[in-house]
């Protein structure tokens, strides 16, 4: 934005020939660099989820728009209308209210009575509309007045500059200031779709403050014929054919200012016959196959045909996590929820499995794996060093990506809390930041590394946590007990939201049982840290070995320090379990549901005298989703959310009581059925489908700008 303001300040003083020579030099370089995405970006052709199609079963839509920049263009409106009516078309003319020319009432009446549409094209054509929030708010008030006077419901920003999060203030039905792909624009952040999409407002309920975005999808005339000096309309034809084949919206933006209808051609003009050839080509090749509509008709059709909860958005979201994305259900749930409604999501993460360092696509999410994690972290300093290394690397990636394609929001997942500072660059530019607190860092570090609760390290981490929470615009916390903890530490209630580790039914739908042997499988997936109590589980299996000789304990996951598996294996050997405890390693998130479906009991043996007492166990609801009876220690967090009809609890730390609970469930079919039935009901009532919209509403409310009056300190909208 700074470079744009600088350019438009100097523009009047730069001779046209010099400006155009520089533009052509740069454009030719950009054309080479972006040959893979211009004029066609294949990714933009994807059909949005739930897309209803065009009216009357038409193959695609064709929308004609014009930006009128100077008096020369204003004088040619009549000629453009005559040309379009010759081929049976109507279009929208976006007019500038002030400075460049005066829009007479008679011209507006002529346009409207001929069946054409009028849109508002900024306030002045000076490229300064978004120079500041104060400037935008002042101009927006005048734009709304002109829109009412002109009976206009659509907007297009001069030079295609846009801040969609601000433009709710214009109170328009639609905006048309974006494009699917166009590297030649001053703000070249294409939305990568050839379909209309929804820009939701803060706390958007249906149409509450939202508007329809109509990106242009056919390259602009001035770019093609004046800057790139194309000698024909082959690129227009190529792009139209591509959009038609994918059932999208072929929206073209031309300028009467640059159309030469006869006589000597100006230095910045192209033959109007090019535009006529385009109209003839569309009419002859696709007669009867397309829905020809004015922009307002497309916007109103979209709002009517696509229910509020199914409208596709194109926000740009970045997520940062010192975690393996593929196996982190919480992060995947959020990222894939956004992608499914059409948002563009980048994740900056690590790899701890077989995935290679680099960029990958996972279910539509762009995953940047920038560091490999060694889980054998023997002490707090090793852990801190690797965290710091990832923080610095992720901050570079986030800043680089934001410079290329600005983000609307950054969602950072702890641990560590300091990872929130990876978003410093977007934050500096006004982008909101969420800190998602999966675990309370001071408490977890004290448990994991044996640090004294009142010692220097824990107090330092608490101070660091306070600063990180203050840096974030909003904080998500993983359970209600920890919500109270953060409130007691000074986080304002309005800044906090609780999102449990709800299961995503897209992954944890009920799987069939395929195992037919007579083994009795006890399963645990997760980290093998001390607070998880896996040594207690091994002891319980040893107590069962004579009464349930076919019992096996299968441990999936890992972590917990260099010696966690060795300690558990040694314990198993000392207790004479002879291979009944199996270390199965990591499996993908998609595979673990099948593992659970083929088990007999799922266990959660956490220690109540540790960090585990308040750490919500995601695996409980995952077990329940597969109809797997759950045996769990009685901790503060699990008794907060579950009761004895849903889980067979046992006193924490008591291996004999755990063995008795497992045996009772095994030998009591009625109890099995009750736990299975009540667990399935709980999982179905508390899955991600019940909280998905709340998360989307939070994202939308944070990424929609509000404007405050300096004098009255009241929200404008």
Residue 487 has pLDDT above 50, yes or no: yes
Lowest mean pLDDT among 336-345, 384-393, 561-570: 561-570
Report which of 147, 46, 42 is spatially closest to residue 94, judged by C-alpha positions: 147
519: exposed, middle or buried (C-beta count within 10 Å: 0-12, 13-18, 19+)? middle
Mean pLDDT of 216-244: 97
Q: 153 with 173: CB under 8 angstroms?
A: yes
Partners of 89 in beta bridges: none
Residue 406 has pLDDT above 70, yes or no: yes
Distances (CA, A) of 23 to 29, 85, 221, 287: 10, 34, 15, 37
Per-residue confidence band for 247, with pLDDT thresholds at 50, 70 and 90? very high
Top-confidence residue, 565 or 601 = 601
pLDDT at 134: 93
Summary mean pLDDT of the chain: 91
The DSSP bridge pattern shows strands 365-372 and 154-155 to be unpaired
Top-confidence residue, 104 or 379 = 104
Specify the DSSP element, H or E, that contains 344. strand 344-351
Neighbouring residues of 103: CB distance < 8 A, sequence distance ≥ 6: 74, 95, 96, 97, 150
Mean pLDDT of 166-184: 96
pLDDT at 50: 87
Q: What angle do CA 383, 389, 395 make, to 5 degrees?
A: 130
Q: 243 with 60: CB under 8 angstroms?
A: yes
pLDDT at 557: 86
| SS3 per-residue string spanning 424-439 | HHHHHCCCCEEEEECC
Mean pLDDT of 189-195: 96
Residue 206 has pLDDT above 50, yes or no: no
Residue 158 has pLDDT above 70, yes or no: yes
pLDDT digits (tens, 9 = 90+) for 372-391: 876 555 566 677 788 899 99
pLDDT at 457: 78
Sign of the dihedral defined by the CA atoms of residues 592, 594, 597, 600, in that order: negative
What are the phi and psi torsion angles at 236 (to 5°)? -60, -45
Neighbouring residues of 17: CB distance < 8 A, sequence distance ≥ 6: none
Pairwise CA distance, residues 220 & 233, whole Å: 11
Neighbouring residues of 391: CB distance < 8 A, sequence distance ≥ 6: 416, 418, 419, 421, 422
Q: 342 with 365: CB under 8 angstroms?
A: no
Mean pLDDT of 109-132: 95
Per-residue confidence band for 250, with pLDDT thresholds at 50, 70 and 90? very high
Q: How many other C-beta atoms can be found within 10 angstroms of the C-beta atom of residue 467? A: 12
What are the phi and psi torsion angles at 614 (to 5°)? -120, 5
Pairwise CA distance, residues 299 & 207, whole Å: 12
Mean pLDDT of 473-498: 95
Q: 60 with 240: CB under 8 angstroms?
A: no
87: exposed, middle or buried (C-beta count within 10 Å: 0-12, 13-18, 19+)? middle
Residue 670 has pLDDT above 80, yes or no: yes
Percent of the chain with pLDDT over 90: 78
Query: Three-class SS of residue 66?
Result: strand
Pairwise CA distance, residues 176 & 372, whole Å: 43
Residue 628 has pLDDT above 70, yes or no: yes
pLDDT at 715: 35
Residue 236 has pLDDT above 70, yes or no: yes
Name the E strands within 83-176. Answer: 92-95, 117-120, 154-155, 174-175
Per-residue confidence band for 121, with pLDDT thresholds at 50, 70 and 90? very high
pLDDT at 587: 86
Per-residue confidence band for 711, with pLDDT thresholds at 50, 70 and 90? very low
Mean pLDDT of 232-247: 98
Q: 49 with 341: CB under 8 angstroms?
A: yes
pLDDT at 585: 85
pLDDT digits (tens, 9 = 90+) for 497-552: 999 999 999 899 999 999 999 999 999 998 888 889 999 999 999 999 999 999 99
Name the E strands within 429-571. Answer: 433-437, 474-477, 496-498, 520-527, 551-558
Residue 174 has pLDDT above 80, yes or no: yes
Residue 578 has pLDDT above 50, yes or no: yes
Mean pLDDT of 173-202: 95
Q: What is the residue-wise DSSP string for 15-26?
A: -HHHHHHHHHHH
Residue 204 has pLDDT above 60, yes or no: no
Pairwise CA distance, residues 434 & 409, whole Å: 8
Residue 399 has pLDDT above 90, yes or no: yes
Residue 712 has pLDDT above 50, yes or no: no
pLDDT at 377: 56
Token pair of 171, please? 């109170």
pLDDT at 6: 54
Per-residue confidence band for 302, with pLDDT thresholds at 50, 70 and 90? very high
Per-residue confidence band for 8, with pLDDT thresholds at 50, 70 and 90? low
Partners of 291 in beta bridges: 61
pLDDT at 710: 34
pLDDT at 374: 66
Lowest mean pLDDT among 8-22, 121-135, 532-546, 560-574: 8-22
Sign of the dihedral defined by the CA atoms of residues 396, 400, 405, 406, in that order: positive
Q: How many residues are listed for the chain in this entry?
A: 717
Q: How many other C-beta atoms can be found within 10 angstroms of the C-beta atom of residue 476? A: 23
Residue 102 has pLDDT above 90, yes or no: yes
Per-residue confidence band for 562, with pLDDT thresholds at 50, 70 and 90? low
Token pair of 397, please? 């990636």
């Amino acid at each position: 934005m700074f470079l744009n303001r600088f350019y438009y300040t100097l523009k009047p003083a730069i001779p046209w020939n010099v400006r155009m020579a520089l533009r052509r030099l740069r454009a030719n370089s950009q054309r080479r660099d972006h040959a893979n995405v211009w004029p066609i970006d294949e990714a933009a052709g994807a059909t949005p989820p739930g897309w209803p199609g065009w009216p009357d079963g038409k193959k695609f839509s064709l929308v004609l728009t014009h930006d009128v920049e100077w008096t020369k263009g204003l004088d040619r409106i009549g000629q453009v209308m005559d040309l379009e009516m010759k081929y049976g078309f109507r279009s929208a003319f976006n007019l500038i209210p002030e400075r460049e020319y005066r829009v007479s009432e008679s011209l507006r009446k002529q346009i409207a009575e001929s069946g054409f549409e009028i849109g508002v094209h900024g306030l002045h054509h000076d490229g300064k509309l978004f120079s500041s929030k104060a400037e935008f708010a002042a101009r927006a008030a005048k734009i709304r007045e002109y829109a009412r006077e002109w009976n206009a419901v659509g907007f297009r920003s001069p030079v295609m500059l846009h801040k969609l999060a601000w433009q709710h203030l214009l109170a328009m039905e639609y905006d048309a200031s974006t494009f699917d792909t166009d590297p030649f624009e001053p703000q070249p952040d294409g939305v990568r779709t050839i379909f209309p999409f929804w820009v939701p407002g803060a706390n958007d309920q249906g149409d509450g403050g939202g508007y329809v975005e109509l990106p242009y999808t056919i390259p602009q005339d001035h770019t093609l014929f004046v800057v790139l000096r194309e000698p024909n309309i082959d690129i227009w034809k190529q792009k139209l054919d591509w959009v038609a084949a994918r059932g999208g919206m072929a929206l073209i933006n031309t300028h009467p200012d640059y159309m030469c209808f006869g006589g000597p051609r100006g230095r910045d003009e192209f033959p109007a016959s090019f535009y006529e050839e385009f109209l003839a080509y569309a009419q002859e090749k696709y007669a009867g196959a397309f829905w020809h509509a004015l922009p307002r008709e497309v916007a109103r059709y979209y709002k009517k045909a696509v229910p509020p909860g199914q409208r596709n958005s194109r926000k740009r979201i970045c997520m940062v996590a010192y975690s393996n994305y593929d196996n982190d259900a919480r992060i995947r749930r959020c990222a894939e929820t956004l992608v499914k409604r059409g948002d563009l999501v980048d994740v900056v993460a690590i790899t701890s499995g077989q995935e290679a360092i680099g960029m990958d696509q996972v279910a539509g999410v762009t995953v940047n794996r920038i560091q490999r994690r060694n889980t054998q972290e023997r002490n707090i300093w090793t852990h801190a060093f690797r965290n710091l290394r990832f923080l610095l690397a992720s901050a570079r990636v986030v800043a680089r990506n934001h410079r290329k394609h600005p983000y609307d929001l950054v969602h950072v997942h702890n641990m560590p809390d300091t990872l929130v500072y990876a978003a410093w660059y977007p934050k500096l530019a006004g982008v909101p930041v969420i800190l998602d607190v999966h675990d309370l860092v001071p408490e977890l570090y004290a448990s994991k590394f044996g640090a004294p609760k009142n010692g220097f390290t824990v107090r330092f981490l608490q101070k660091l946590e306070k600063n990180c929470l203050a840096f974030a615009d909003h904080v998500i916390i993983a359970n209600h007990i920890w919500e109270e903890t953060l409130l007691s530490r000074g986080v304002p209630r309005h800044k906090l939201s609780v999102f449990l580790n709800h299961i995503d039914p897209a992954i944890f739908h009920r799987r069939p049982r395929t195992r037919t042997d007579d083994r009795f499988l006890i399963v645990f997936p997760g980290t093998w840290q001390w607070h998880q109590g896996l040594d207690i589980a091994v002891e319980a299996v040893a107590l069962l070995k004579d009464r349930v000789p076919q019992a096996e304990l299968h441990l999936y996951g890992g972590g917990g320090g260099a010696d966690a598996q060795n300690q558990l294996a040694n314990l198993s050997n000392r207790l004479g379990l002879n291979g009944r405890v199996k270390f199965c390693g990591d499996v993908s998130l998609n595979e673990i549901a099948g593992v659970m479906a083929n088990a007999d009991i799922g266990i959660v043996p956490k220690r109540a005298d540790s960090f585990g007492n308040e750490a919500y166990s995601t695996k409980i609801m995952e077990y329940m989703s597969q109809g797997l009876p759950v045996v769990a220690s009685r901790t503060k967090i699990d008794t907060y959310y579950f009761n004895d009809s849903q889980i067979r609890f046992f006193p924490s730390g008591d291996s004999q009581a755990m063995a008795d609970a497992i045996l009772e469930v095994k030998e009591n079919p009625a109890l099995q059925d009750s736990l299975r039935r009540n667990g399935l009901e709980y999982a179905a009532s508390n899955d991600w489908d019940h909280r998905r919209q709340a998360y989307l509403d939070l994202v939308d409310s944070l990424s929609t700008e509000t404007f405050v009056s300096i004098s009255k300190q009241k929200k404008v909208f």
